[in-house]
Amino acid sequence: MLRLEGVAASYRGLKALQGVSITVARGEIVAVVGANGAGKSTLLKAIAGLVATTGAIEFDGTPIAGMAPHRIARLGINLVPEGRRLFPRLSVQDNLRLGAYARRGETDRMKPLDLVFALFPRLSERLAQRAETLSGGEQQMLAIGRALMTQPRLLMLDEPSQGIMPRLVDDILAAITRIRDLGVTILLVEQRLAESLAIADRAYVLQTGRVVMEGRAADIAADDGVRRAYLGM
Amino acid sequence: MDNDILRRRRRELITGVIVLAALAMLPLPIADVYTRNLLIITLLYAGLAQAWNILGGYCGQISLGHAIYFGVGCYVSTLLYVRLGIPVAFGLFAAGAVCGALALLVGWPCFRLSGHYYAVATVVVGEIGYLLFLNWDFVGAATGIYVPFKGESWLALQFRTQKLPYHYAMLAFVAATWIAAWVIEGSRWGFSWRAVRDDAVAARSLGVRVFASKMAAAAISGFFTGVGGALFAQYVGYIDPDSVLAGTFSILIALPAVLGGVGTLWGPLIGAVVLIPVSELSRSYLGGSGRGVDLMIYGGLIVLVALARPQGLVSLLGLRRRAHENAA
């Protein structure tokens, strides 16, 4: 469904990605792991059209490299950005509504709301609250909920466990698995190696902007060499 | 979830109609010319602040150069009237259109900057406009333009002694800007703009066209500011760069919205109702002493509101409503 071939990106001469080639098949959870500064977030931003890239990016056979971010979003790719990036002064329901508005002119665009509430019942209790008043975990739920309102086919999550209490991390990872089971393909970037590899089907290990290892998530999780060499653990 | 919003929006619309009716009655028992003038100026600023609020409040792009739209609006309609005899009833649409287009022209380079840099750029644009008109002979340069009196007329909005017609013209202006803000608030655009205001990166990843949103907000804001300028020019009968394009106007346009509550429907109107009379009254009673006591009081009031209610005066209403909802 998603294919990157030799993708490179740089920030003012600093090479963040070099010759990255990855594929994501429909219905998979693919994890991208690596140390800080390995280029994981840049990879997701590159797919979403938020940073300039060279190389080929295809989504369902459509080349999307260089396409405007809003058009990529309308194709069904949605990024839950690092740090959640909610609209802090808008209410929970308005945040969700903005996700729904990404679907142009559809009458049933509020339909995913039931699904969002089923995944995250807490959100339904806090509809009128400003997003900034939510706890870290609730904010992450809202960020994922907002993304689901766009009815994405590919959901990209950047560090969903960041700044969240451990008990809620499990809830969020469980929700990600359920979202996949509903037919949404997932590309997950995480610092928490063990947890993310446990829910992923396949994984890529990134180091200084290059893919240094790829394979089944279980194999990578089992490989002690990987931990020591690339992840510093 | 949708029903709640529809109900709230209907309630706002009803409140709007009631307030409009009250403002229409307000000048009738007042014979005093000074007070009527004060009401007219207050309404003008309420409308201008609402126009500013569309860009600065809903879309979060703080413009400190709105005097250029106000001033150009004055000049466009006045020149059309003086040179071509086109009355202000039509001229104000021309003024709005020109200022909307001008806002796009200004936005094209300026919206590539964000946050404080955008605000600074608009200050510079405003100053350029001022200097340009100050030295441009075709528009009267520093001497300005007199609007000739050609007999009483609604079309040209000219009345020798009556103030009431101007009151209604300004009230129509306030109503138009308020309705524009009301429509925007409930529309897909309004949501996109608020998303751009709160977090442009997140908005972009949801498929919002950030640059286009800012441009649209600027054009609508510029349009209404220009219309306000056209009405003002006809009311005072004389314009020059110092009285309609000076940098202080940019601040005066933004202040009622900031004081009343940025990004809210009622903030600009409430802000203008408090601010403009206080500024006028303190000037007439305390000004002229040469010590600037009026400005101190004026500034002190703004500081007080900023400290006590940073969300603006309109948040006082919210407090009561929230308490009411909790009790229910």
pLDDT in tens, B31-83: 888 889 999 999 999 999 999 999 999 999 999 999 999 999 999 999 999 88
Nearest of B311, B312, B302 to residue B275 by alpha carbon: B302
Task: Answer yes or no: are the C-beta atoms of B266 and B321 closer than 8 Å.
Answer: no
Chain B contact present for A145, CB below 8 A: no
Does residue A86 sit at the B interface (CB-CB below 8 Å)?
yes
Residue of A nearest to B207 (CA): A70
Give chain B's radius of gyration (CA, Å): 20
CA distances from B317 to B31, B43, B322 (A): 31, 21, 9
Query: Which member of A78, A93, A98 has the closest CB to residue B195?
Result: A98
Residues of B within 8 A of A93 (CB-CB) are: 1
The average pLDDT across A160-164 equals: 85
Residue A138 resides in a domain: no
**Structural domains counted in chain A:** 1
- B219 phi/psi in degrees, rounded to 5: -65, -45
pLDDT at B308: 79
Does the domain formed by B32-327 have CATH 1.10.3470?
yes
**Which residues in chain B are contacts of A69 at CB distance < 8 A?**
204-205, 207
User: Token digits for A167?
Assistant: 């008990």
In the stretch 160-199 of chain A, residues with CB closer than 8 A to chain B read none
Q: Which of A8-12, B151-155, B292-296 has the highest mean pLDDT?
A: A8-12
Q: What is the mean pLDDT of residues B270-292?
A: 79
Q: What is the mean pLDDT of residues A1-28?
A: 90
In this structure, is residue A8 part of a structural domain? Answer: yes
Q: Which residue among B191, B201, B207 sits closest to A85, beta carbon to beta carbon?
A: B201
Among the ranges given (A40-44, A103-107, B27-31, B122-126), the one the predictor scored with the smallest mean pLDDT:
A103-107
Token pair of B92 as six digits: 């104000």
A77-119, pLDDT tens digit by residue?
Answer: 999 988 888 998 889 988 998 888 877 666 677 788 888 999 9
Print burial letters for A134-146: b (CB count within 10 Å at least 16), e (below 16): beebbbbbbbbbb
Residue A230 pLDDT more than 70?
Answer: no
Given a contact cutoff of 8 angstroms between Cβ atoms, the answer to whether B50 and B260 are in contact is no
A129: in domain: no
Please indicate whether, in this complex, the C-beta atoms of A87 and B204 are within 8 angstroms of each other: no
Alpha-carbon distance B168 to B175, whole Å? 10
Q: How confident is the model at residue B323 (pLDDT cuts 50, 70, 90)?
A: very low
Is the residue at A163 inside a domain? yes
3-state secondary structure of B122: helix
pLDDT > 70: what percent of chain B? 94
Query: Cβ distance B102 to B222 under 8 Å?
Result: yes
Does any domain span residue A211? yes
| pLDDT averaged over every residue in chain B | 87
Residue A121 within any structural domain of the chain:
no
Q: Specify burial of residue A8 (Cβ count, 10 A radius: 0-12, 13-18, 19+).
A: middle
Q: What is the CATH number of the domain that holds A26?
A: 3.40.50.300
- The answer to whether residue A112 neighbours chain B at the CB level (below 8 Å) is no
Given pLDDT bands bounded at 50, 70 and 90, which one contains residue B291? low
| pTM of the predicted model as reported, rounded to 2 decimal places | 0.82
pLDDT category at A204 given cuts 50, 70, 90 is very high
Which residues contact residue A19 at a Cβ distance below 8 angstroms, ignoring those fewer than 6 apart?
Answer: A6, A7, A8, A55, A210
Mean pLDDT, to the nearest integer, of A199-216?
A: 90
ipTM beyond 0.85?
no
CA distance B202 to chain A (A): 6
- Who among A85, A86, A98 is closest to B191 (CB)? A98
Q: Is B83 on the interface with A (CB under 8 A)?
A: no
CA nearest to B190 within chain A: A98
* Domain assignment of residue A139, yes or no: no
Whether B211 has its CB under 8 Å from any CB of chain A: the answer is: no
Q: What percent of chain B has pLDDT over 90?
A: 46
Range of the domain at A38: 2-85+153-231
Strand stretches in B172-291, DSSP E: 238-239
Chain B residue with the nearest C-alpha to that of A147:
B206
Residue A55: phi and psi, rounded to 5, are 100, 180
Report CB contact under 8 Å: A127, B1: yes
Question: Considering chain A, what percentage of its residues have pLDDT values greater than 70?
Answer: 95
Give pLDDT, residue A112: 85
